[in-house]
Amino acid sequence: MTRYGTFWVDTASEDQKLFDLELAKRIFGYTTGLRHWLLVAAISAPLVGGIQLARPWLLKQAVDNAILPGNVEQLILYAGLFLAVLAAELGGMFGQLMLLQWIGQRVLLRLRTALFRKVLSLDQRYFSRVPSGVTLTRLTNDLEAIQELFAAGIVTLVTDVVKLVGIMGVMLWLNARLALITFCVLPLLYVVSEFFRRKLRRAYRNVRQAVAGLNAQLSTTVEDIEDVQGQHLEPDLARRFADVNDRHRRANLDSILNDAVLYASVEMLSSIVIGALIWFGGREYLEGRVTLGVLVAFVEYVQMFFVPIRDLSAKYAVLQSAFASAEKVFGLIDTQPAVTDPENPKSPRPEGRAAMADVHFGYKPDVPVLRGIDFEAPPRGFIAIVGPTGHGKSTIVRLLRREYDVDSGAVLLDGVDIRQLELDDVRRRTLAVSQRTFLFGGNVRDNLALADDFDDDAMCEVLDTVGFRPRTPRPAVLDAVVSEGGRNLSMGERQLLALARVLLRDPEIMILDEATAHIDSETEGSLYRVLRQQHGARTMIAIAHRLSTIREADEILLVRHGRIEERGTHEQLIAQSGVYANLIRLHDLEAAGEGE
Amino acid sequence: MTDSSNRFETARRLAWPYFRRYRGAYALGLLFLIGTNAAQVAVPWLLKQGVDLISALDQDPDVVARLGYVALWIALAAVAQAITRVASRWHIFRTGRDVEYEVRQRAYDHVLALDPAWYARHSRGDVISRVTNDIGNIRLLFGFGVLQLANTIAAYAAALTMMLSMSWKLTALALAPFPLLFWVLRNFGGRLHARFMGAQQSLGELSGFLQQALQGMDVVRGFGQQQGFLERFERVNEHNYQANMRLAWTRSLMAPLMIFVSGFGIFVVLAAGGWFVIHKEITIGEFVAFQGYLGMLVWPTLALGWLFNVLERGLASLGRVDELLSAEPVIRDRATAREIDLKGRLRVQIDGLTLQAEDGGTFELSHVAFEAAPGERVAVVGRTGSGKTVLLQTLLRLFDTPPGAVFLDDVDICDLKLETLRTRIGYLPQEPFLFGRTIRDAVTIGTNAYDDAQIEDALRRADIIDDVRALPEGLDTRLGERGVTLSGGQRQRLMIARLLMTSPAVALLDSPLASMDFATADRVRGELQAFACDRTVLWATHRLETMEWFDRILLLEEGRLIAMGPHEALMDQPLYRSLYERQQLMRALEQT
């Protein structure tokens, strides 16, 4: 289990541009095949916004032409029209919302696939640098935020703006003086809502941060309860939790207050405007410059008009966070792996020949790890690599499988530089049992077959070969549950499953980067048996700390300080009485086989 | 017991105490809510006065002045409405947050008190969900739920009174579709919630898949499984898309429904109200006022759809959180637990301790017996999985230690208060996890050290001071995703610094030097040994170095104590001897 640094999570800051044309273009690039629908949405936006203007106007017509003159026929006409407009509005709105969400979800689907495809193509350098949690956030939360651009973003913003402009136009047309009196309040409305929105944004940010802190502390406490109680951290943790909990509460109280004031003051302003309409409009009416219907329509328009203005800046926030996320997502899409497939891949006949020719390599430019490694594993040969920890043994394996490219020299597979082979080809030819075995949550079958197809008999057979002793009778062993990371299995069992996973695929070259720390003697026995059995059946390259397993190797390489210091068969090296001979003495001392 | 009486019982037992406790705030909130609604119904009524005034068209010279009064009263009602609205929301929503705060704190405190054995039998994810999601539902119940319930009742009472006073016929007609509407909204609310949860669940599945794929990326790439995983991903992604589209259908109905509720009422008033105006049953002012009243009912009506769900979920969540709060830890203070004064060096005595694994299978420890005199330095050695960690954790009662097996100064640890036990024992876990936001937090947690000099001294002794100083903000450098990530060795040394700032009577060190190189380990070992001098120490280790320093060494093998004695005596034991010589050679090899 990898334990990640701390329980604190920060949420990103939000100094982001409102609209980023470059990013918008790139998102637009994922709408192929949907563009005519996007066009429909774009055209329908003003229509849906515009149709909402009709109802107050119909009300005015009804009051002036039907109700006041007492004309029942006209009343029926306007009531009918009103119902028709209402139906059109409902239909239009539903259609538009549905369309936008559909487009948003389609784009999300595509972007997510594109992003995951990209992630699958990245190399070890990326994964050793970026914690998997960060990549996960890109693939989930960030994409969801982009999708909001469609569902709640640009088009609805357009609809709102069209509606506002339309209302203002109609009001001016109905009665310019009354309209201008109404508009007097607009700057005030804008200032008030912007003022409180700002405060609200800050409050929300504090809330989010506190929530992240609460959740993170809660989950690490629950996950590591043994450490917490063993060190008696409870009182301190409770106190810290109370702090964050209290900050959370206060940030929320802040948002409650500001939200209530914003809501109430917009409501108040609209009522005051209605009062002003009665005052001025009434006098206009008495002087015959306006009809009663216009006044009624104005009252309706005023109420329609305030809410979108109040919510305008909330929609900004959606846009902002969408673009902030888009920047991160496209940053990842633009990441180029250093290790890539060649343009014209070669495919040499599989023989099982692996070699390194004067390989130099370092993870960082100024820290060399390998300084001139030369060796060749002939077909069906058995090469063992030994040496102290941290001197480059595992790096050799990584280079053999092209997880990194060499700085100079070359790695050859069946006589061809592996940079000329397809990556998948390289990896399928050289399967490895690595030190850190990862098992997926699921069952034994899932972990053996992965995404390939194998029949149950073959899988059971290979489990027998490695000596994975099922607690359940066959073939149920394949259905035995494996919990995430293989936590319900012992280290040894995990190793054996990993070995079975490799043998099942019958690779031409099998690499064993042996786990050192947690292997019990039983597992070691199994590994040793398999190794002897496979000797001569395929090429094997084994990194070993347990030397009993490799005495029969065709060649043993002693790697220290990034160089091969000694090489030869077991007997030759013993005769040299160098470091290897010392190691063997060490090993013999380990009568009981303890590993560090 | 039927479902609804069950829910009533939950409400009475679990929700009622909170209502009682916060009755003052609720009463104030409700009072202001009534004020809001009173002010709100006044506006259409005043509007009616104004419209009727001007439409009468009599040449009353006072008309303009009276119109002015109407406008003024509208403005006053608007101000009153705003003030009472803010006040009512403040009191009721705040109470929701207060309840949330309180329940969350109680739940977290309880989470801290439940023992590892309890966690082994329960899903940790479920515990987390109860403390996050369920508490969110509880807050909605006590805040939003209460406010909306009261507001709906008040708004209906106020608007209906006014409407009925103008025309009972028009009121009846305008409200005729409402029962149907309630039914639709109620179902709609339920469906929206169900589909929302469906979408959340499928997002959870997607995240779960991605998380595993990312963590197992070595295997995915190493076995050339990219294509296969991409195909699986596409299935999960498609499934998530489907769930979201199902939600979209329902979600897209929300805004149209809202417009329908308000629009249809206005239609009724237009058609029927217009008819009544023509037939002089109501005035044109009342016609206008009716529109206002129906507008006032839109939101409370819509909220009803959510309200029932909020109340139901809140009560269910109260039940679930209560279940968590009622869980009893197995390892806890006995009624007779003592808080004795354990000072100085303590004698640790283990008497035939046998501990079986949680699943009832193999024994983790069997018949372990030894005694460590006060101030004795004891090493615990053995292979991986031989029971070293379990032995140390048993002394802390992290396992359910049987009574009569472990004693501190002749007191059975089962008779001690857990707090006494764990504060008198200093424990350094094998794989240290840093609890804190900054390095300072992580190092000082559970200690009383708050001054920089003290902290820096400890950091220096743990040989981590240079690493900390090299960080951009030193002690206040943030840890984690947007801060620094520390290596295992660095974390271990930080935790050693933390330990050095405490003064326990017994120190349990679980492989404290495991992830350090030899040179660092040598420096830190010296400080740890100095620290151990004043107390009884049990030191589990893989590294058999300076073993002469220990008074006694316990050699464990498969949970059994197979040998015990000072270093020289144990050199005759084959396993011990091989472990020891191996260490010597490793060091020699590393240093050549």
- Give Cα B161 distance to the centre of its chain: 46
Query: Over the Cα atoms of chain A, what is R_g?
Result: 36
pLDDT digits (tens, 9 = 90+) for B485-530: 677 788 889 999 999 998 888 999 998 887 777 778 888 999 999 9
Out of B93, B216, B255, whose CB is closest to A97?
B255
- The nearest alpha carbon in chain B to A115 belongs to B230
Query: What is the residue whose two structure tokens read 């060499």?
Result: A406
Q: Does A438 touch chain B (CB under 8 A)?
A: yes
pLDDT at B187: 86
How distant, in Å, are the alpha carbons of A34, A64, A80, A152, A331 from that of A319?
21, 43, 40, 9, 18
Query: What is the residue whose two structure tokens read 């929301």?
Result: B89
Cβ-contact A96, A55 below 8 angstroms:
no
Q: Does A227 touch chain B (CB under 8 A)?
A: yes
pLDDT at A109: 94
Fold equal for B3-325 and B346-433+508-591: no
Q: Residue B451: phi, psi to the nearest 5?
A: -100, 145
pLDDT at A535: 84
| Contacts with A200 from chain B: Cβ below 8 Å | none
Residue of A428, A394, A392, A383 whose CA lies nearest to A561? A392
pLDDT at A587: 67
- Give Cα B59 distance to the centre of its chain: 70
Q: Mean of the pLDDT values across residues B421-447?
A: 85
CB contacts < 8 Å between A and B, how many?
A: 436
Out of A236, A257, A275, whose CB is closest to B90?
A257
Closest-CA distance, B244 to chain A, in angstroms, reads: 7
> In whole angstroms, what is the distance from residue A303 CA to residue A305 CA?
5
> In whole angstroms, what is the distance from residue B64 CA to residue B70 CA?
10
Per-residue HEC secondary structure of A143-172 comes to HHHHHHHHHHHHHHHHHHHHHHHHHHHHHH
Please state, as a whole number, how many other Cβ atoms lie within 10 Å of the Cβ of residue A33. Answer: 9
Contacts of A67 (CB under 8 A, 6+ apart): A75, B274, B277, B278, B284, B287
Out of B128, B278, B589, whose CB is closest to A218?
B128
Tokens for A365, please give them: 């430019």
Q: Break chain B into its structural domains and give their ranges.
A: 3-325, 346-433+508-591
- Give Cα B227 distance to the centre of its chain: 38
pLDDT at B1 over 70: no
Out of B90, B292, B485, whose CB is closest to A5?
B485
Cβ-contact A90, A121 below 8 angstroms:
no
> In whole angstroms, what is the distance from residue B43 CA to residue B77 CA?
7
Out of B446, B581, B583, whose CB is closest to A232?
B446
Cβ-contact B504, B426 below 8 angstroms:
yes
Bigger pLDDT: B358 vs A26: A26
pLDDT tier, A582 (very low <50, low <70, confident <90, very high otherwise): confident
> In whole angstroms, what is the distance from residue A207 CA to residue B399 CA?
38
pLDDT tier, B3 (very low <50, low <70, confident <90, very high otherwise): low
pLDDT tier, A11 (very low <50, low <70, confident <90, very high otherwise): very low
Range B346-433+508-591 has CATH code 3.40.50.1970: no
pLDDT at A230: 86
Among A361-375, B2-16, B79-93, the minimum mean pLDDT is found in: B2-16
Q: B441 vs A240: CB contact, 8 Å cut-off?
A: yes
Residue of A243, A236, A221 whose CA lies nearest to B423? A236
Q: B436 vs A133: CB contact, 8 Å cut-off?
A: no
pLDDT tier, A6 (very low <50, low <70, confident <90, very high otherwise): very low
| Contacts with A112 from chain B: Cβ below 8 Å | 237
Cβ-contact B543, B556 below 8 angstroms:
no
pLDDT at A16: 57
pLDDT digits (tens, 9 = 90+) for A394-427: 899 999 999 999 999 999 999 999 999 999 899 8
The beta strand positions in A394-545, using DSSP E, are: 408-413, 416-417, 430-433, 442-443, 481-482, 509-513, 539-543
> In whole angstroms, what is the distance from residue A128 CA to residue A271 CA?
61
> In whole angstroms, what is the distance from residue B562 CA to residue B559 CA?
9
DSSP string for A365-430: TTB-SEEEEEEEE-TT-EEEEE--TTSSHHHHHHHHTTSS--SEEEEEETTEEGGGB-HHHHHHHE
pLDDT tier, B237 (very low <50, low <70, confident <90, very high otherwise): very high
Closest-CA distance, B584 to chain A, in angstroms, reads: 9
Out of B214, B384, B437, whose CB is closest to A8?
B437
Q: A292 vs B277: CB contact, 8 Å cut-off?
A: no
| Contacts with B588 from chain A: Cβ below 8 Å | 582
Closest-CA distance, B348 to chain A, in angstroms, reads: 17
| Contacts with A214 from chain B: Cβ below 8 Å | 104, 132
Cβ-contact B117, B400 below 8 angstroms:
yes
pLDDT digits (tens, 9 = 90+) for A38-89: 889 888 888 888 888 899 999 999 999 999 998 999 999 999 999 999 999 9
With a pLDDT cut of 70, the percent of chain A lying above it is 91
- The nearest alpha carbon in chain A to B481 belongs to A9
- CATH code for the part of the protein at B3-325: 1.20.1560.10
ipTM of the complex: 0.85
DSSP H or E segment with residue B30: helix B23-55
Coil/strand/helix, residue A488: coil
Report H helices in B130-177. 135-140, 146-166, 168-175
pLDDT at B343: 67
Q: What distance, in Å, lies between the first and last C-alpha atoms of chain B?
A: 78
Q: A120 vs B229: CB contact, 8 Å cut-off?
A: yes
Give ∠ CA B554-B560-B565 in degrees, rounded to 5: 25
> In whole angstroms, what is the distance from residue B302 CA to residue A267 CA?
18
Closest-CA distance, A448 to chain B, in angstroms, reads: 11
- The nearest alpha carbon in chain A to B113 belongs to A234
pLDDT at A519: 59
pLDDT digits (tens, 9 = 90+) for A97-131: 899 889 999 999 999 999 999 999 998 888 877 77
pLDDT at A189 over 90: no
pLDDT at A1: 29
Q: Does A583 touch chain B (CB under 8 A)?
A: yes
> In whole angstroms, what is the distance from residue A153 CA to residue B87 CA?
33
pLDDT at A520 over 70: no
Q: Does A271 touch chain B (CB under 8 A)?
A: yes
Compute the CA torsion angle B73, B74, B77, B81 (nearest 10 deg).
-170
DSSP H or E segment with residue A233: none
pLDDT at B357 over 70: no
Q: B214 vs A135: CB contact, 8 Å cut-off?
A: yes
Cβ-contact B536, B372 below 8 angstroms:
yes
Residue type, B557: E
**Mean pLDDT for chain A overall:** 85
Q: Mean of the pLDDT values across residues B43-65?
A: 83
pLDDT at B44: 93
> In whole angstroms, what is the distance from residue B215 CA to residue B539 CA?
34
How many CA atoms within 13 Å lie on the side-chain side of B469?
Answer: 10
Q: Mean of the pLDDT values across residues B286-299?
A: 90
Q: What distance, in Å, lies between the first and last C-alpha atoms of chain A?
A: 18
> In whole angstroms, what is the distance from residue A184 CA to residue A302 CA?
12
How distant, in Å, are the alpha carbons of A403, A552, B143, B417, B422 from that of A121?
12, 38, 49, 56, 50
DSSP-assigned letter for residue A342: -
Give ∠ CA A212-A216-A221 in degrees, rounded to 5: 155
pLDDT digits (tens, 9 = 90+) for B375-411: 899 999 987 667 888 899 888 888 888 888 888 888 8
Best residue of A119, A217, A228, A229 to probe chain B, by most B CBs closer than 10 Å: A229
Q: B271 vs A79: CB contact, 8 Å cut-off?
A: yes
pLDDT at A4: 34
pLDDT at A546: 65
pTM for this prediction = 0.81
pLDDT tier, A17 (very low <50, low <70, confident <90, very high otherwise): low
| Contacts with A245 from chain B: Cβ below 8 Å | 101, 104-105, 108
Contacts of B305 (CB under 8 A, 6+ apart): B185, B186, B188, B189
**Mean pLDDT for chain B overall:** 87
Closest-CA distance, B566 to chain A, in angstroms, reads: 21
Closest-CA distance, A72 to chain B, in angstroms, reads: 7
pLDDT at B96 over 50: yes
pLDDT at A588 over 50: yes
With a pLDDT cut of 70, the percent of chain B lying above it is 95
Residue type, A25: K
pLDDT digits (tens, 9 = 90+) for B114-126: 988 888 778 888 8
Domains, chain A, in order of start with CATH, read 21-333 (1.20.1560.10), 354-437+508-595 (3.40.50.300)
Q: Which of residues 442-461 of A touch B (CB under 8 A)?
A: 450-452
| Contacts with A591 from chain B: Cβ below 8 Å | 574-575, 578
Tell me the sheet residues that pair with B408. B348, B411
Q: Mean of the pLDDT values across residues A32-39?
A: 90
Q: Mean of the pLDDT values across residues B443-466?
A: 88
Best residue of A116, A128, A240, A266 to probe chain B, by most B CBs closer than 10 Å: A116
Query: What is the residue whose two structure tokens read 């829910």?
Result: B7
> In whole angstroms, what is the distance from residue B144 CA to residue B97 CA?
10
| Contacts with B419 from chain A: Cβ below 8 Å | 232
Q: Mean of the pLDDT values across residues B420-449?
A: 84
Please state, as a whole number, how many other Cβ atoms lie within 10 Å of the Cβ of residue B360. Answer: 6
Cβ-contact A536, A380 below 8 angstroms:
yes
Residue of B435, B427, B438 whose CA lies nearest to B496? B427
The answer to whether the Cα torsion of B109, B115, B118, B122 is positive or negative is positive
- The nearest alpha carbon in chain A to B222 belongs to A427
pLDDT at A593 over 50: no
Cβ-contact A459, B230 below 8 angstroms:
no
Out of B222, B588, B590, whose CB is closest to A427?
B222
Coil/strand/helix, residue A35: helix
Closest-CA distance, A83 to chain B, in angstroms, reads: 7
Tokens for B546, please give them: 């300076």
pLDDT at B460: 93
Out of A5, A75, A127, whose CB is closest to B274?
A75
| Contacts with A233 from chain B: Cβ below 8 Å | 435, 445-446
Q: A7 vs B435: CB contact, 8 Å cut-off?
A: yes
Closest-CA distance, B546 to chain A, in angstroms, reads: 17
pLDDT digits (tens, 9 = 90+) for B146-180: 999 999 999 999 999 999 999 999 999 988 888 88
Coil/strand/helix, residue B448: coil
Q: A520 vs B385: CB contact, 8 Å cut-off?
A: yes
pLDDT at A472: 56
Per DSSP bridges, beta strands B348-356 and A370-377 are unpaired
DSSP string for B326-342: HPPPSS---TT-B----
